[in-house]
Amino acid sequence: MTTYNTFYDSNKNISWVTDGPTPAEVISAQAALGLTHVALDLEQIPACDQFYINTAGDGVVAYHSFSLSFSATTIAIDGTVTITGCPADTEIFLDEVSQGTYSNGALTLTGSMAGSFMIAFVKDKYYTTRQRIIVSRYA
């Protein structure tokens, strides 16, 4: 085990980590920037984009993965794709443009024009997930 000096924000997102000595002056300077310090004994350094600090502030938690299910990934125009398993408060992007925040229930998309479209699912403390949906002119 190694002691990692971990600095995180008010949302428990890890900003930076070091296994080197961290003088009180550094901890104070980071606190002035709004970061909290915790020394954690861990097996490996927690990657900032894969872990966050737990609610108690005394450990790390791995980001979550989406468990999405798609009824299809290729449809004809006017066909639908139903997506289930999406947690509430997930922001949905279509070709990198936000379409809003998902609330609950199944999400149904209708193909209104032919093409290839990338749907992204973004939620705090989750790995971003992307899925390409192809809409063809004919069935």
pLDDT tens by residue, the chain, 139 residues: 899 999 999 999 999 999 999 999 999 999 999 999 999 999 999 999 999 999 999 999 999 999 999 999 999 999 999 999 999 999 999 999 999 998 888 889 999 999 999 999 999 999 999 999 999 987 6
Q: What is the pTM of this model?
A: 0.81
Quick one: pLDDT at residue 139? 65
Answer yes or no: are the C-beta atoms of 90 and 98 closer than 8 Å: no
